[in-house]
């Protein structure tokens, strides 16, 4: 008799975004004429940069000709892309990486979800709260947690509260943790850590032989000088950190699919005899066994992000979204809201007025302003009383949404 | 201290194809003028069909325009593709599927490797021997096996020998098994099962509440009437089977990446209280958490495989490879080899002459004929004494390889 992985049964039945969809659909049915503006899901809306489109078309044509056709590529990605990643995203920041430390994949969601496979089931993980749900759910599925409690928190996970009091910066854990998920610029709060703040985490991990799983999917949105784009800008991080990057938010690849993960050769995990094993070799084994590489035309498109025109076009796109972020942030502040993020990230994290519950605020915002966002409670217990808006809408919709929040709420 | 998943340490250090590469590279260094023909790795060589190229270029252009840009698609794939899959690959064979029973992915290797996650660690798995290594390795990594023995077999796995005596058809297991991996047309033997033979497996699974993980990646190569293309052509299979399909070998997508998995709503796994859980819902939960869908241009290309021109072009490609298969099979038979496969599959499985070890045959074939193939021992203990050649080369190389085997070996 085939038995189920009972860890899956620990997951709550409904997901955040399906509950949002359910409420929006009901509202639309009851109010068919409502002009709804969506600033909820973190999906981009600007088209692919022309340099990417051209490179992908050229690559598709190559696939159609006998002499330039490509079959299976290397599971870890083509060197033509990896070299450009190192040269453009890391070397200018003083970070040197070897070709075999970069693993190209079809999504940072996949990589952040799959990477935990390399770790023993007995590891204790720490996540910030609020948090991107994939870190938690993938570990629940693997059996690294106990059951969920009434607050929506899983036993054995160490939650690091990010609150108004600590400026949305997770405190160091007070009990032992082995795997630490950090995401900066943060989803959902939009906040960043300075190099000094990040160094505390690297030092903690080195002292405790923990591994930091650093999600930098939003690094392209950093506007301020001095904010680290990569954890590897911090001394010692190569010994204890893995970094996840994506072309999704950087270059509009949410529907095109390309990302990459940096696994330095020095990062180690230990077996029960205390012997060290390289995460880099383990991830290579995992990827060669369970993955077959990213589509060649997609990798060709990703490489074009680093061409002169590509870089210019991507910069324009980021500026467009960050102007939206400014409009939301300043508009909400003027309207009397307390807001976080939106300076170095495409997310604005607002405190609901009068301690309103975040789902109540969701309903009110939809009803009164016809604007859809994401209730903070969906990201964890400490997200209650907060609400996420994204800068990924069109300029016109962003301006109209802010105007409506200002005048109708 | 971060602990390693110790199950990874059970895997042998070197992989089949890297050992082949090592030997080929050494031979090339020692014999720089040798004109090596590769009929080893199962990778296609013909370019993408023109209908696919056109559809992908069009889709890339859509991604470059504001009004037709697509961000995140559904994790389970676009309906425009799923509908075509059902209409073309299943309905003509009398198999009805619902839209939500088809999950589009970026590779059958990924899906066959990832699907085991849904099952409890205590399940016993059965695999044929020889076998595609991914089924075994992914279960080893998950902890569903014991250590490996000197024959390369893992404790707790039930190996079903496919031998000359049983016509390369796996016998039903004599002890309890819960998860059964079947691959037909088979990699590496190239053999198929009839509907009656497949029915015995479906009946076994229904009686024992086991689940059959059916890999049909090579179904497009079936030439003979009466050979089932899908396990769902067998009565009762919807209750006990999951099927993996791919565009890789069907339409030359090894470097383009698109596949799909069929999970009927009726297939169940059980918890410790005996309660049934739908694999379809569990896989949906897995995919929405750990996967973000296939690139839109790739899905558009896959849909074009089902256009009138696409079907014609794919058929021509399959015919091309199957003519290679015929040339290899008949050529080897004339040269006195005992061969399996090559009739309904792109693989030819030959018995090495005089009980020669399969690595010895590999070395002799490379040295005397300058032809590279795959030693059967790489696919399992029962692959020893056999050798795999593939029909994916060019016509010219295929003819030259057969001629060399005939005259030089």
Cβ within 8 Å of residue B146, ≥6 positions away: B10, B154, B155, B156
User: CA B136 → CA A265, A326, B4, B107, B294, distances in Å?
Assistant: 27, 52, 20, 17, 26
Distance of CA B170 to the CA centre of its chain: 16
User: CA B12 → CA B23, B137, B144, B149, B275, distances in Å?
Assistant: 18, 10, 16, 10, 37
> Under an 8 A CB cutoff, do A141 and B286 touch?
yes
Check residue B16 and give its pLDDT.
81
Q: State how far residue B337 is from chain A, nearest Cα, in angstroms.
A: 30
Rounded CA gap, A65 and A57, in Å?
13
Residue A208 touches chain B, beta carbons under 8 Å: yes
Residues 86..145 of A with a Cβ closer than 8 Å to B: which?
106-107, 109-110, 113-114, 117-123, 134, 137-138, 141
Phi, psi of A392 (to 5 degrees): -90, 5
* Binding-site sequence positions of A for substrate: 15, 42, 109, 132, 187, 292, 388
Query: For residues A219 and A187, is the Cβ–Cβ distance under 8 A?
Result: no
Of A208, A3, A244, A210, which Cα lies nearest the Cα of A107?
A: A244
Q: Is the pLDDT of residue B21 over 80?
A: yes
pLDDT beneath 70, residues of chain A: 14
Residues 338..357 of B with a Cβ closer than 8 Å to A: which?
none
Give the burial class of A189: count Cβ atoms within 10 A of its Cβ; 0-12 exposed, 13-18 middle, 19 or more buried. Answer: buried
Cβ within 8 Å of residue B372, ≥6 positions away: B20, B24, B36, B37, B38, B39, B40, B362, B365, B366
Mean pLDDT of chain B: 97
Check residue A16 and give its pLDDT.
81
Check residue A19 and give its pLDDT.
87
User: CA A372 → CA A17, A124, A325, A387, distances in Å?
Assistant: 11, 36, 16, 10
Q: State how far residue A290 is from chain B, nearest Cα, in angstroms.
A: 5
Check residue A49 and give its pLDDT.
98
Contacts of A52 in chain B (CB under 8 A): 64
Q: State how far residue A137 is from chain B, nearest Cα, in angstroms.
A: 7
Check residue B243 and give its pLDDT.
98
Is B292 annotated as contributing to ligand binding?
yes
Residue B14 touches chain A, beta carbons under 8 Å: no
Strands (E), A10-149: 37-38, 102-105, 125-129
Q: What is the pLDDT of residues A168-189, one digit of tens each?
A: 999 999 999 999 999 999 999 9
Check residue A18 and give its pLDDT.
80
What tokens does B310 get?
């696409």
Of A43, A50, A290, the CB nearest to B110: A290
Of A53, A134, A208, the CB nearest to B61: A53
Check residue B284 and give its pLDDT.
95
Mean per-residue pLDDT, B239-243: 98
What burial letters (b/e) apply to A126-141, b meaning 16+ CB within 10 Å? bbbbbbbbbbbbbbbb
Residue A52 touches chain B, beta carbons under 8 Å: yes
Contacts of B119 in chain A (CB under 8 A): 2-5
Contacts of B53 in chain A (CB under 8 A): 60-61, 63-64
Q: What is the pLDDT of residues B245-296, one digit of tens each?
A: 999 999 999 999 999 999 999 999 999 999 999 999 999 999 999 999 999 9
Quick one: pLDDT band at residue B14, thresholds 50, 70, 90?
low
Is B18 annotated as contributing to ligand binding?
no
Q: What is the pLDDT of residues B207-219, one digit of tens each?
A: 999 999 999 999 9
Of A146, A152, A109, A150, which Cα lies nearest the Cα of A124?
A: A146
Check residue A14 and give its pLDDT.
66
> Under an 8 A CB cutoff, do B15 and A288 touch?
yes
> Under an 8 A CB cutoff, do A137 and B289 touch?
yes
Write the DSSP symbol of residue A230: S
> Under an 8 A CB cutoff, do B296 and A255 touch?
yes
| Among chain A residues, CA nearest to B270 | A3
Query: For residues B173 and B128, is the Cβ–Cβ distance under 8 A?
Result: no
Domains and CATH numbers, chain B: 12-47+309-408 (3.90.1150.10), 53-307 (3.40.640.10)
Q: What is the pLDDT of residues B303-329, one digit of tens each?
A: 999 999 999 999 999 999 999 999 999
Rounded CA gap, B126 and B212, in Å?
10
């Amino acid at each position: 008799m085939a038995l189920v992985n009972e860890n899956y049964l620990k997951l709550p039945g409904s997901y955040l975004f399906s509950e949002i969809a359910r409420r929006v659909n009901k509202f639309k049915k009851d109010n068919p004429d409502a002009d709804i503006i969506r600033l909820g899901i973190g999906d981009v809306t600007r088209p692919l940069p022309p340099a990417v489109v051209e490179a992908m078309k050229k690559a598709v044509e190559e696939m159609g000709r006998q002499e330039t056709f490509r079959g299976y590529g290397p599971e870890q990605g083509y060197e033509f892309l990896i070299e450009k990643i190192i040269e453009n995203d890391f070397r200018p920041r003083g970070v040197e990486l070897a070709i075999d430390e970069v693993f190209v994949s079809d999504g940072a969601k996949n990589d952040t979800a799959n990477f935990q496979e390399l770790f023993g089931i007995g590891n204790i993980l720490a996540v910030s709260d609020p948090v991107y749900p994939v870190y938690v759910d993938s570990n629940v599925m693997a059996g690294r947690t106990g059951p969920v409690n009434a607050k929506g928190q899983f036993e054995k996970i160490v939650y690091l509260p990010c609150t108004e009091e600590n400026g949305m910066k997770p405190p160091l854990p007070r009990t032992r943790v082995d795997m630490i998920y950090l995401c900066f610029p943060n989803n959902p709060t939009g906040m960043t850590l300075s190099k000094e703040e990040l160094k505390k985490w690297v030092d903690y991990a080195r002292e405790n032989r923990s591994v930091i799983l650093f999600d930098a999917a939003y690094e392209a949105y950093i506007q301020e000088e001095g904010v680290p784009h990569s954890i590897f800008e911090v001394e010692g991080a190569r010994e204890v950190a893995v970094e996840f990057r994506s072309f999704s938010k950087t270059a509009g690849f949410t529907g095109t699919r390309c990302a990459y993960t940096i696994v330095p050769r020095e990062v180690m995990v230990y077996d029960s005899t205390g012997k060290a094993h390289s995460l880099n070799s383990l991830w290579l084994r995992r990827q060669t066994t369970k993955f077959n590489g990213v589509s060649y035309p997609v990798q060709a498109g990703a490489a074009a992000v680093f061409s002169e025109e590509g870089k210019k076009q991507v910069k324009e796109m980021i500026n467009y979204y960050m102007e939206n972020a400014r409009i939301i942030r300043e508009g909400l502040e003027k309207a009397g809201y307390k807001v976080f993020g939106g300076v170095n990230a495409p997310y604005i994290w607002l405190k609901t007025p009068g301690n309103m519950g975040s789902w109540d605020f969701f309903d009110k915002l939809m009803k009164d302003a016809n604007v859809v966002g994401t209730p903070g409670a969906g990201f964890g217990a400490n997200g209650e009383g907060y609400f996420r808006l994204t800068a990924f809408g069109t300029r016109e919709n962003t301006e109209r949404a802010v105007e409506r929040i200002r005048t109708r709420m």
